């Protein structure tokens, strides 16, 4: 089967893209794709940065273990 992205394959894909979209539309498509990827990376960075400080700020303390006989005491108001 061989390699998928050989130089010949890439040239054929480039020619097909130029024929389908035209020379004027390709830079616009590339710019849009680049901006979309940049926005995605920034969004992912924001998500991972938000999770780390939140874990440190919100530490969960385990509930106190009941002692024998605690269930017999009346509830406090």
Q: What is the pTM of this model?
A: 0.43
pLDDT above 60 for 11 = yes
Is the Cβ–Cβ distance between 26 and 18 less than 8 Å?
yes
pLDDT in tens, 15-62: 998 888 888 888 898 899 999 999 999 888 877 765 555 555 566 677
- Report domain extents, the chain: 31-56
DSSP summary character for residue 70: G
Q: Which residues neighbour 26 within 8 Å (Cβ) at sequence distance 6 or greater?
A: 17, 18
The predicted structure's pLDDT at residue 38:
93
């Amino acid at each position: 089967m061989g390699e998928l992205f050989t130089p010949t394959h890439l040239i054929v894909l480039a020619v097909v893209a130029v024929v389908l979209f035209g020379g004027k539309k390709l830079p616009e498509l590339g710019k849009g794709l680049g901006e979309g990827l940049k926005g995605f990376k920034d969004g992912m960075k924001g998500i991972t940065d938000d999770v780390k400080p939140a874990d440190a700020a919100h530490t969960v303390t385990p509930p106190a273990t009941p002692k024998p006989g605690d269930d017999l005491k009346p509830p406090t108001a």
